[in-house]
Amino acid sequence: MLSYFARVGVALDPFCAYVLSMTKPPTALIEGYLAFKQGRFVRERARYHELAELGQTPEVMVIACCDSRAAPETIFNALPGEIFVLRNVANIVPPYQPDGEHHSTSAALEFAVQSIKVKHIVVLGHGRCGGIKAALDPNSGPLSPGDFIGTWMDLLAPAAEAIGDNTWLTSAERQTALERIAIRHSIDNLRTFPCVSILENKNRLSLHGMWFDIASGELWTMDSDTGDFAVFEGLALDEELIED
């Protein structure tokens, strides 16, 4: 649009030029798409064609935060069609509640388990989560009259209050603690869904908890028996694979 006015010799005042520029897609997205289309898409054209023709059949569902710094596809270096991803604020799974209301997280879970028939569900949390930080801040006010984030984070209110009152922990320790508690809490809530609990009891579905440290790139995995988190030792795994 701006180039049209330039061609016809019409000078725009700065405000009009700014408004018109805002109607265009962000340059970074266009450049990123062109790089993808001319690079990765060319290399993986056969895979994309197969996915288009046969549909998706990922074995893993990842429930992650919508934080732009913790994209599951990037963390796990996933191929197209390899993982089914659901992202929301603080990677929270609410409890099963068939009340006829709108439940996007429950809808995605239902589709992944009942239609795609995934074999694994991973709840992926991460460090420095903004939603968790807000839940721990007693002075955090609503961002809008609807207070959608506040209502959503109320799902963690009891844990947030207990941790927030612990003066023995530093603010960073409280943050990490609640981030990991949120993962365990979401896994507990997953088991309130009949489609999940039935398949898990039949050993046809496995639930996993993971936590990603943005600063270090470390991945921590949750022990399914104890609930404790330990850093994933990738080098040790590589050595075992080499020995085999």
Rg of the chain (C-alpha set): 22
For residue 87, count CB atoms less than 10 angstroms from its CB and return exposed for 0-12, middle for 13-18, buried for 19 or more: middle
Which is higher by pLDDT, 5 or 20? 20
- Which DSSP string do the residues of 80-120 spell out, in sequence order? TTSEEEEEEGGG--PPP--SSS--HHHHHHHIIIIII--SE
For residue 241, name the pLDDT band (cuts at 50, 70, 90): very low
Residue 181 predicted with pLDDT over 70: yes
Residue 144 predicted with pLDDT over 70: yes
Residue-level pLDDT at 18: 63
Residue-level pLDDT at 235: 57
What's the whole-number average pLDDT of the chain?
Answer: 91
Read off the pLDDT of residues 70-117 as tens digits, 9 standing for 90 and up: 999 999 999 999 999 999 999 999 999 999 999 999 999 999 999 999
Kindly state the average pLDDT of the residues 141-167. Answer: 94
Name the least confident of 25-29, 207-211, 215-219: 25-29
The CATH class of the 57-243 domain is alpha beta
Residue 244 predicted with pLDDT over 70: no
Residue-level pLDDT at 233: 84
- Report DSSP state, residue 224: T
For residue 164, name the pLDDT band (cuts at 50, 70, 90): very high
Query: How far from the centroid of its chain's Cα atoms is residue 174's Cα?
Result: 21
Tokens (6 digits) for 93:
């799974």
Residues 6 or more apart in contact with residue 17 via CB below 8 angstroms: 2
Residue-level pLDDT at 2: 47
| Partner residues linked to 209 by β-bridges | 123
Read off the pLDDT of residues 23-51 as tens digits, 9 standing for 90 and up: 788 889 999 999 999 999 999 999 999 99
- Report DSSP state, residue 156: G
- Please give the Cα distance from 192 to 181 (Å, whole number): 17
Give the domain ranges of the chain: 1-43, 57-243
- Please give the Cα distance from 238 to 71 (Å, whole number): 23
